[in-house]
Structure 1
């Protein structure tokens, strides 16, 4: 029986796609006066901002400036974000079943706090492994391995729930089973290889 579930945040628990893309578009318009279409910016979904900004940066200083402005815009536009339907009900039911829950996200501590300030999620989770807490990030296994170490759990008793190819690769590299949150996922042929596929959040309760 699986004892611990680790969750991604963006695209899994919270529908933040509009916030992320719109705030990145505004950042690029304000700093570089370019206006990429949303589809051109989907690459940022699921990776740390520090890595995402490099595509449009000419060096570390500009990367830092882009990231700072993007974080400001993300905060200002966070009203576009909402919990996916069924997430709160799922978390309540899993908690009632005494299943341990954790978060493994590409958000930094500061970016994660923006989420927790808006949504009452902190009470459900035993740990939050953010990009601020590891040197390496998804798809490297370090974030999931850090959660396993922090919670003192067995990888064999752990599932990682996410929506992106980076989440899937991170789980594979950490040798834990992966659950695809299809409600937030973009089509990818690699997803035919996932261990479990959920059509809606409450399906996870049934899986348990």
Structure 2
């Protein structure tokens, strides 16, 4: 059905929730701001600088790289979701073209994703610093489609956040909810597909 499968990264391929929230909580405390982890969940799925702006951090350009370093302290909290590597490998060995659209910066991708050894399975990756606009704006997804030489009708975007779904909807691309990352279907009633486990990806292509 689809010739191109594009993945979100955090919450879809990598289980990074604890690392992101705990590191954000730590850097904010160092900046004199104290938050409960639950109050920071909105940060999942949007670029780090946008998160800091929404938290009214004054010097975003100074604090953002500081956060990027602190998140590495929580690398033991990050792992691949069960069976996702096998599914991605199977896709890469098929005629299906694969890509990533993530809110991570290119450096964050290098530091936090490349150690898992999955980068070579993807033909094209769009990071936060590759486009002027970010999710939920459609630009990152549209740029990825261009890089993959694919049309919006040939592609599906797999993600776990409302921002991912809004990005796909705005780009005119079908959206599949990674339930293993989102842990809820609430708010995702307009998703084209709900995937309970990574193996379900193979059933929709």
For this structure pair, what is the TM-score category when the shorter chain's length is used for normalisation? over 0.9
Q: How many residues are aligned here? A: 205
1:149 corresponds to which of 135, 146, 151: 146
After superposition, the CA RMSD in angstroms is 1.3
Give the 5 Å matches for 1:88-107.
88-107=85-104
CA distance in 2, matches of 1:115, 1:29: 22
Shift of the alpha carbon at 1:186? 4.8
- Is the contact made by 1:108 and 1:132 (CA closer than 8 Å) also made in structure 2? yes
* TM-score, length-scaled by structure 1: 0.94
Q: Deviations over 1:68-87 (max 9, x none)?
A: 21111012222210000010
**2:12/2:160 contact within 8 Å kept:** yes
Tell me the residue number matched to 1:41. Answer: 40
Identify unmatched segments of 5+ residues in structure 2: none
Q: For residues 126 and 50 of structure 1, what CA distance do their matches in structure 2 show? A: 27
User: Counterparts of 1:8-19 in structure 2 under 5 Å?
Assistant: 8-19=8-19
Which structure 2 residues correspond to residues 171-190 of structure 1 after superposition, within 5 A?
Answer: 171-187=168-184, 189-190=186-187
The alpha-carbon deviation at position 156 of structure 1 amounts to 0.3
Q: What SS does the aligned partner of 1:113 have?
A: helix
Give the gaps of 5 or more residues in structure 1.
Answer: none
Shift of 1:115: 2.6
Runs of 4+ more than 6 Å apart: none
C-alpha contact (below 8 Å) 1:3/1:99 kept by paired residues: yes
